[in-house]
């Protein structure tokens, strides 16, 4: 399939469309399930005040609750995916909204569950588990809920917190409106001199331009908009941090960081070890900056010089089938079982993937599916060899879901954010290794080395810098320091100086970069990118060096879903994120790649 012209959906061959009809083959079946969930919500609400009646009553409620959410997930996933096929289709817009409203209804009907469970004594719950074997399945889930007990307030206070939740989220909503609706960045001349509107979506493309004037213009234009809004954005972020620290205090956590890590039972050392391990290797990043300066031939390197590929290489045209073969060959180290299941996903019989870009289709790529469906992958294939990385990434997520749903009950059928990106990144690293081994030229090898260097810089080092900034802002605010524009810019500028070294020109633009990072409004989220990538590198190292034993451990990890806390799950794959070693190993890989590129250049 080399024709990348955007077509109507009815013009695409069936083999390039996902088999969504296996979820619902008629509208009345979807409506039947919808009514079942609606009725279940009414029935579940009747259990209020009765969860401690007996072990059987608790088990009945948990089973019915699980069944209702499982069916609702199936309803929503189908509606959402049908909408994503063509966002212009009103029927599926309405169906998606209908499923979302049903989720609110079901949530409200069962909102008594956690507070009421916490009122049952530990002795009674333990006796219930002994009395009813069926409750054994729910033990980890119940433990997760009960862990929150010491941080739950009185019913009156919880009611007040619920009422204020919308107000507390105001800084994030204000940022979204400014960032996505109100801000305009003007136009930038591309390499041909054509004026193009600068957007969030095309900014990185401009920054990867080999024309320095194009990069500089885009960089200046982007940050000029943020500098104009610097005080408003500082105020929004200041109150976002204040709100987080206030909730932390009210819920009796030691710090905002400990509060955010508590749900996944992540030790604070995981966060601080990440920062320490990366900081110890910052001289290697400084060497990389020096190499960039040398190759680009500039007297002083600016931040707008940090994204352009050091090796200019035109991406080869490849058909979808050729990219699939590349991915399948690259993932052979994961063993024949994995390969056979992967083949199933790509087959015309199962059709996990929706391949072509079509009119009205949702952009980008994702892996989705319900517990009762096989995994599905949305693509917008562009006819380039590099798209193999997107295919490998999304199929990593899908294979994780495939194994998890095969071996875990519905309640553990998902994945925490801490572990979710591991499987996708393992596939990307294996693909990179395969392409390196089969590179057709010295230039392609250099290009691939630079590509992985940038992956580690962006996903591990840059996200760690963000994590360090968040730690500093929340601690400063907790100590009574007002996060003014001046304080935020000065702090962020100095972090950039530490991370990128003296060779980088630290201008006013980079000092305001904090203001355009949406994830800063999801407190202490970004570090998970760095830990996930580090875990993936460690897993690939084990697979390549230890073979079948490591593969079996990794497949075992893929089967576990949410059945334990993330740190314990990764130990199954042979990775202990509670110490520095995985991150240190990643930084060694970065250094090794840099050594190789320096020799080749």
Catalytic residues: 394
The candidate with the shortest Cα–Cα distance to 127, out of 200, 54, 187, is 54
Structure tokens at 275: 């920062």
The H or E element that residue 417 is part of is: helix 417-437
Q: Nearest 5 degrees, angle CA 555-CA 560-CA 566?
A: 110
Give me Rg for the CA atoms of the chain. 25
594, 284 contact by CB (below 8 A): yes
Q: Which residue's entry shows tokens 């890590």? A: 261
Specify whether the CB–CB gap between 292 and 309 falls below 8 A.
no
Residue 15: burial class (beta carbons within 10 Å; 0-12, 13-18, 19+)? middle
Which tokens is 136 given?
Answer: 């054994």
**34: how many CB neighbours lie within 10 A of its CB?**
18
Task: For residue 138, give Cα distances in angstroms to 161, 179, 204.
Answer: 28, 42, 45
Report which of 543, 546, 538 is spatially closest to residue 555, judged by C-alpha positions. 543
Q: How many CB atoms lie within 10 A of CB 441?
A: 9
Q: Is the dihedral of CA 549, 550, 556, 558 positive or negative?
A: negative
H-only helix segments in 147-266: 155-168, 170-176, 203-207, 212-228, 230-250, 256-262
Q: Do the bridges between strand 187-189 and strand 504-505 make them parallel or antiparallel, or are there none, so unpaired? A: unpaired
Pairing of strands 504-505, 301-302: parallel
Nearest to 441 by CA among 209, 600, 594, 593: 600
Q: Tell me if 1 sits within 8 A of 357, measured CB to CB.
A: no
- CB of 524 within 8 A of CB of 256? yes
Measured CA to CA in angstroms, residue 54 lies from 57, 117, 507, 560 at distances of 5, 12, 66, 30
Element (H, E) at 323: helix 320-330
Q: Tally helices (H) and strands (E) across the chain.
A: 26, 7
What is the rounded distance in angstroms from the CA atom of residue 244 to the CA atom of residue 45?
Answer: 32
**275, 526 Cβ separation under 8 angstroms:** no
CA end-to-end distance (rounded Å), the chain:
36
CA 400 to chain centre: 14
Distances in Å between the Cα of 3 and the Cα atoms of 6, 181, 314 are: 9, 35, 19
Contacts of 508 (CB under 8 A, 6+ apart): 223, 227, 489
């Amino acid at each position: 399939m080399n024709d990348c012209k955007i077509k109507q959906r009815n013009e695409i061959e069936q083999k390039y469309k996902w088999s969504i009809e296996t979820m619902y083959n008629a509208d009345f079946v979807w409506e039947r399930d919808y009514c079942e969930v609606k009725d279940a919500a009414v029935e579940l609400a009747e259990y209020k005040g009765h969860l401690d009646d007996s072990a059987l009553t608790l088990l009945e409620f948990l089973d019915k609750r699980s069944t209702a959410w499982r069916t609702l997930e199936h309803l929503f996933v189908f509606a959402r995916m049908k909408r994503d096929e063509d966002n212009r289709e009103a029927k599926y817009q309405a169906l998606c909204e209908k499923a979302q409203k049903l989720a609110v209804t079901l949530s409200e009907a069962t909102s008594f569950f956690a507070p009421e469970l916490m009122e049952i004594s530990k002795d009674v719950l333990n006796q219930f588990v002994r009395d009813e074997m069926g409750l054994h399945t729910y033990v980890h889930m119940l433990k997760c809920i009960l862990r929150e007990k010491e941080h739950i307030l009185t019913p009156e206070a919880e009611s007040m917190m619920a009422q204020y939740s919308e107000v507390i989220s105001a800084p994030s909503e204000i940022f979204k409106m400014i960032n996505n609706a109100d801000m305009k960045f003007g136009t930038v001349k591309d390499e041909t001199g054509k004026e193009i509107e600068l957007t969030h979506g095309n900014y990185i493309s401009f920054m990867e331009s080999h024309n320095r004037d194009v990069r500089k213009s885009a960089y200046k234009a982007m940050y000029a908009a943020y500098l104009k809004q610097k005080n408003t954005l500082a105020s929004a972020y200041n109150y976002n941090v204040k709100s987080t620290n206030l909730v932390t205090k009210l819920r009796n956590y030691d710090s905002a960081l400990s509060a955010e890590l508590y749900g996944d039972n992540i030790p604070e050392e995981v966060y601080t070890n990440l920062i320490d391990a990366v900081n110890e290797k910052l001289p290697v990043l400084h060497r990389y900056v020096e190499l960039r300066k040398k190759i680009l031939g500039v007297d002083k390197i600016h931040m707008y010089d940090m994204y352009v590929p050091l090796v200019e290489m035109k991406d080869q045209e490849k058909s979808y089938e050729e990219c699939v073969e590349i991915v399948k060959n690259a993932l052979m180290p994961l063993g024949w079982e994995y390969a056979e299941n992967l083949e199933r996903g790509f087959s015309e019989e199962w059709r996990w993937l929706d391949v072509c870009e079509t009119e009205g289709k949702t952009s980008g790529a994702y892996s989705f599916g319900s517990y009762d469906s096989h995994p599905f992958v949305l693509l917008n294939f562009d006819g380039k060899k590099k798209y193999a990385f997107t295919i490998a990434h999304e199929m990593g997520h899908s294979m994780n879901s495939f194994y998890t749903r095969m071996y875990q009950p519905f309640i553990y059928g998902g994945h925490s954010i801490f572990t979710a990106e591991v499987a996708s990144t393992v596939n990307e690293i294996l693909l990179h290794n395969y392409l390196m081994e089969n590179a057709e030229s010295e230039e392609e090898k250099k290009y691939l080395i630079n590509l992985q260097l940038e992956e580690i810089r962006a996903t591990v080092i840059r996200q760690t810098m963000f994590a360090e900034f968040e730690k500093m802002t929340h601690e400063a605010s907790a100590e009574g320091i007002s996060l003014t524009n001046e304080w935020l810019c000065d702090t962020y500028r100095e972090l950039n100086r530490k991370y990128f070294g003296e060779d980088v020109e630290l201008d006013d633009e980079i000092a305001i970069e904090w203001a355009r990072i949406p994830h800063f409004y999801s407190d202490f989220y970004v570090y998970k990118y760095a830990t996930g990538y580090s875990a993936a590198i460690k897993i690939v190292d084990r697979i390549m060096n230890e073979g079948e034993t490591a593969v079996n451990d990794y497949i075992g990890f893929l089967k576990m879903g949410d059945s334990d806390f993330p740190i314990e799950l990764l130990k199954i794959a042979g990775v202990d994120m509670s110490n520095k070693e995985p991150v240190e190993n990643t930084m060694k890989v970065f250094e090794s790649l840099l050594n190789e590129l320096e020799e080749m250049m």
